[in-house]
């Protein structure tokens, strides 16, 4: 399909903005949305004209496949405003590639690059006042695709809607994060959809995460489904462990999401000679390291969560609090990463893309 979205975008602007009613200092994550949204419908084997219009509920047929079979995928990205008021995306190519990999795995059509990229750029430009300056501020971008085809037959839809909505964001977690290591439930299995950013991967975690919340833990660290002995990822983030002076993170697989923040940390560590090994850490090894004092830090990494220190973990009936570090590597890496994202440090990787 040929698309020249700069010519073809249909734009209907909102008559008024709700920006003045937003308290940008107190933003519960992902619950306030900007004035506009973007969508593009897929029908009869092709993508239609992308539309930008005021943010509003969308009419849906109750038999749409997304409601019955969860045929839905999404991405999480952020836009940042630098001191000169320029707006930047961070590695949008990676999100685009992963989005279409998720689409293929869920038997959905690939979204053309101009629809995805121009959609983001045009939407951000229209709502650019919603991107606030300063570290800690960002505009969270949520591209997603849902199956809109009618009928409850259990087969892929013939119609889809690709959409982008945007939400001003500060931190994902309020306060300290403690995690529970999964013993019974699992996030994904080999051959399943764990590597895709499929909606169902997240809703499947809600119940076990609620049980963890009831015990005072904000997240679960998932273990492999077959043996529950290998530490894999947390609900909203990939995880890193610092044991002695080395960082460890699990290899990506059919069960583990190939996180953009995770992969950026690997590249930063390589550039700056931070000792890092990509290999599975075993639960037994973590318990041993917690007991003998060699476990120094655990942190999560993701677009929404950025880099989030984890202060302790529970396994079976025991809770292990991590020792306080004077100069935690989690914060050092977070600083390096967010300085690049906010254009406060040279982007030696070419990760940042101007809007
Ligand atoms: C992100 O970090 O952007 C994600 O997609 C995780 C989401 C569950 C908030």
Instruction: Tell whether 108 and 252 lie within a shared domain.
Output: no
Check whether 5 has a pLDDT greater than 70.
no
Instruction: Tell whether 214 and 337 lie within a shared domain.
Output: yes
Structural domains counted in the chain:
2
pLDDT score at 119: 97
Check whether 6 has a pLDDT greater than 70.
no
Instruction: Tell whether 185 and 296 lie within a shared domain.
Output: yes
Instruction: Tell whether 53 and 100 lie within a shared domain.
Output: yes
Atom of ligand 1 at shortest range from CA of 261: 2
Domain with 292 in it = 177-341
Instruction: Tell whether 54 and 138 lie within a shared domain.
Output: yes
Instruction: For residue 292, count CB atoms less than 10 angstroms from its CB and return exposed for 0-12, middle for 13-18, buried for 19 or more.
Output: exposed
d(CA 82, CA 133): 6
Return the structure tokens found at 339: 């300085």
Instruction: Tell whether 33 and 161 lie within a shared domain.
Output: yes
Tell whether 326 is covered by a domain.
Answer: yes
CB of 304 closer than 6 A to ligand 1?
yes
Instruction: Tell whether 204 and 303 lie within a shared domain.
Output: yes
Return the structure tokens found at 277: 């090994």
Shortest-distance Cα residue to atom 5 of ligand 1 = 76
Atom of ligand 1 at shortest range from CA of 259: 2
Shortest-distance Cα residue to atom 7 of ligand 1 = 236
pLDDT score at 43: 97
CB atoms within 10 A of CB 23: 7
Tell whether 351 is covered by a domain.
Answer: no
What's the CATH number where 241 sits?
3.20.10.10
Instruction: Tell whether 145 and 199 lie within a shared domain.
Output: no
Provide φ and ψ at 347, rounded to 5°.
-90, 85
Compute CA distances 298 → 7, 142, 247, 295, whole Å. 48, 27, 9, 8
CB of 319 closer than 6 A to ligand 1?
no
Tell whether 254 is covered by a domain.
Answer: yes
Compute CA distances 154 → 22, 60, 251, whole Å. 42, 18, 33
CB of 138 closer than 6 A to ligand 1?
no
Instruction: Tell whether 15 and 163 lie within a shared domain.
Output: yes
Contact 102, 76 (CB under 8 A): no
Instruction: Read off the pLDDT of residues 77-122 as tens digits, 9 standing for 90 and up.
Output: 999 999 999 999 999 999 999 999 999 999 999 999 999 999 999 9
Decide which of 107, 142, 169 is a domain's last residue.
Answer: 169
Return the structure tokens found at 265: 């940390």
Tell whether 232 is covered by a domain.
Answer: yes
Instruction: Tell whether 284 and 228 lie within a shared domain.
Output: yes
Return the structure tokens found at 243: 């044991």
pTM: 0.94
Instruction: Tell whether 154 and 288 lie within a shared domain.
Output: no
Check whether 3 has a pLDDT greater than 60.
no
Check whether 187 has a pLDDT greater than 70.
yes
Contact 300, 307 (CB under 8 A): yes
pLDDT score at 293: 95
Return the structure tokens found at 228: 């529950």
Instruction: Read off the pLDDT of residues 135-186 as tens digits, 9 standing for 90 and up.
Output: 999 999 999 999 999 999 999 999 999 999 999 999 788 778 999 999 999 9
CB of 300 closer than 6 A to ligand 1?
no
d(CA 35, CA 130): 9
Three-state DSSP at 352 gives strand
Decide which of 169, 201, 219 is a domain's last residue.
Answer: 169
Atom of ligand 1 at shortest range from CA of 302: 2
Instruction: Read off the pLDDT of residues 18-68 as tens digits, 9 standing for 90 and up.
Output: 999 999 999 999 999 999 999 999 999 999 999 999 999 999 999 999 999
Instruction: Read off the pLDDT of residues 207-240 as tens digits, 9 standing for 90 and up.
Output: 999 999 999 999 999 999 999 999 999 988 999 9
Distance 174 CA to ligand 1 centre (A): 15
Q: What is 18-65 written as a DSSP string?
A: -GGG--TTS--TT----SEEEEEEEETTEE---EEEE-------TT-H
**What was the ipTM of the complex prediction?**
0.92
pLDDT > 70 fraction of the chain, expressed in percent and rounded = 98
Tell whether 95 is covered by a domain.
Answer: yes
The mean pLDDT value of the chain amounts to 95
Check whether 7 has a pLDDT greater than 80.
no
Confidence of residue 1 (pLDDT cuts 50, 70, 90): very low
Instruction: Read off the pLDDT of residues 279-308 as tens digits, 9 standing for 90 and up.
Output: 999 999 999 999 999 999 999 999 999 999
What are the residue ranges of helices labelled H in the chain? 5-8, 65-69, 92-105, 113-126, 199-214, 260-271, 283-292, 329-341
Tell whether 5 is covered by a domain.
Answer: no
Return the structure tokens found at 205: 């975690």
Ligand 1 pocket test, candidate residues 218, 305, 308, most atoms within 8 A of CB: 305
Instruction: Read off the pLDDT of residues 87-96 as tens digits, 9 standing for 90 and up.
Output: 999 999 999 9
Q: How many Å separate Cα 42 from the centre of its chain?
A: 24
Q: Hunting for tokens 């890193």 — which residue is that?
A: 240
Shortest-distance Cα residue to atom 8 of ligand 1 = 236
What's the CATH number where 22 sits?
3.30.470.10
Q: Strands 219-223 and 177-181: what pairing?
A: parallel
Tell whether 348 is covered by a domain.
Answer: no
pLDDT score at 171: 79
Tell whether 58 is covered by a domain.
Answer: yes
Fill in the DSSP letter of residue 105: H
d(CA 127, CA 208): 37
Return the structure tokens found at 283: 């639960």
Decide which of 169, 185, 202 is a domain's last residue.
Answer: 169
d(CA 167, CA 24): 11
Instruction: Tell whether 145 and 231 lie within a shared domain.
Output: no
Shortest-distance Cα residue to atom 4 of ligand 1 = 76
């Amino acid at each position: 399909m040929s698309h020249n979205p700069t010519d073809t975008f249909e734009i209907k602007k909102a008559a008024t903005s709700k920006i003045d009613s937003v308290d940008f200092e107190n933003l519960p994550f992902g619950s306030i949305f900007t004035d506009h949204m973007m969508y593009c419908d897929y029908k009869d084997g092709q993508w239609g004209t992308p539309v930008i219009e005021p943010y509003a509920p969308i009419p849906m047929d109750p038999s749409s496949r997304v409601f019955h079979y969860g045929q839905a995928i999404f991405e999480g990205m952020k836009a940042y405003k630098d001191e000169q008021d320029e707006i930047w995306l961070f590695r949008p190519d990676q999100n685009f590639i992963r989005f279409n990999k998720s689409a293929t795995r869920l038997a959905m059509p690939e979204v053309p690059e101009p629809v995805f990229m121009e959609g983001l750029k045009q939407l951000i430009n229209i709502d650019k006042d919603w991107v606030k300056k300063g570290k800690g501020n960002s505009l969270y971008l949520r591209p997603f695709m849902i199956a809109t085809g009618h009928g409850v037959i259990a087969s892929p839809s013939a119609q889809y809607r690709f959409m982008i909505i945007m939400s001003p964001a500060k931190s994902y977690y309020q306060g300290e994060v403690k995690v529970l290591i999964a013993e019974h439930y699992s996030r994904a299995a080999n051959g399943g959809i764990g590597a895709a950013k499929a909606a169902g991967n997240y809703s499947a975690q809600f119940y076990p995460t609620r049980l963890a919340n009831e015990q005072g833990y904000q997240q679960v660290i998932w273990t492999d489904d077959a043996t529950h002995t290998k530490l894999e990822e947390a609900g909203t983030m990939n995880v890193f462990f610092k044991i002695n002076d080395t960082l460890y993170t699990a290899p990506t697989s059919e069960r583990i999401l190939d996180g953009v923040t995770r992969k950026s940390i690997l590249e930063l560590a390589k550039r700056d000679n931070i000792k890092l090994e990509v290999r599975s850490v075993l639960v037994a090894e973590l318990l041993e390291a917690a007991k003998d004092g060699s476990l120094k830090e655990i942190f999560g990494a993701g677009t929404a969560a950025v880099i989030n220190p984890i202060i302790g973990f529970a396994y079976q009936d025991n809770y292990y609090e991590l020792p306080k570090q004077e100069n935690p590597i989690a914060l050092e890496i977070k600083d390096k990463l967010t300085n690049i994202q906010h254009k406060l440090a040279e982007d030696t990787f070419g990760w940042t893309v101007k809007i």
